[in-house]
């Protein structure tokens, strides 16, 4: 990693861990586990603090429900020790896609190249 990357880490926090977070984690953190996206979860020795180091953009919606529950003390055991019961109808976790090209756009949205033909709507035209 170059000098520019290290300087960026001193002054920014939104893309991975800052230098201060890395120092705190190396001195006080115990790795608890890692999720499918590569985010790494830590706690300190008396479990009074829990945190995540994101692999990439720091976006809270990238944390899966089982890890979110552990981070916010909904349950004490991390999903690496006690798996979260899953229902067969549950979809895999997906980060919030709002504001991206992958966001949901209903038929007729201006994001589609050709708007869908609508038979349930008639545009008003002033006389």
Distances (CA, A) of 73 to 31, 40, 51: 17, 17, 11
Check whether 119 has a pLDDT greater than 60. Answer: yes
Higher per-residue pLDDT: 10 or 52 = 52
40 class by beta-carbon count within 10 Å (0-12 exposed, 13-18 middle, 19+ buried):
middle
Length of the chain: 127
Q: CA 97, CA 6: separation in Å to the nearest integer?
A: 29
Quote the pTM value. 0.66
Check whether 50 has a pLDDT greater than 90. Answer: yes
What pLDDT, on a 0 to 100 scale, did the predictor assign at position 5?
Answer: 54
What rounded mean pLDDT belongs to the chain? 83
Q: What is the pLDDT of residues 81-98, one digit of tens each?
A: 998 888 999 888 888 888
For residue 15, what is the DSSP state? B
Q: What is the pLDDT of residues 13-31, one digit of tens each?
A: 555 667 777 888 889 999 9
């Amino acid at each position: 990693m170059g000098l520019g990357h290290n300087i960026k880490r001193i002054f920014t926090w939104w893309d991975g861990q800052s230098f201060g977070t890395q120092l705190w984690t190396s001195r006080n953190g115990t790795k608890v586990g890692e999720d499918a996206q590569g985010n790494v979860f830590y706690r300190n020795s008396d479990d009074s603090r829990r945190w995540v180091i994101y692999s990439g953009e720091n976006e809270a919606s990238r944390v899966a429900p089982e890890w979110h529950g552990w981070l916010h003390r909904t349950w004490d055991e991390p999903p690496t020790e006690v798996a979260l019961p899953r229902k067969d109808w549950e979809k895999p976790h997906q980060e919030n896609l709002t504001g991206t090209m992958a966001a949901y756009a209903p038929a007729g949205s201006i994001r589609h190249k050709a708007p869908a033909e609508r038979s349930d709507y008639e545009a008003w035209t002033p006389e």
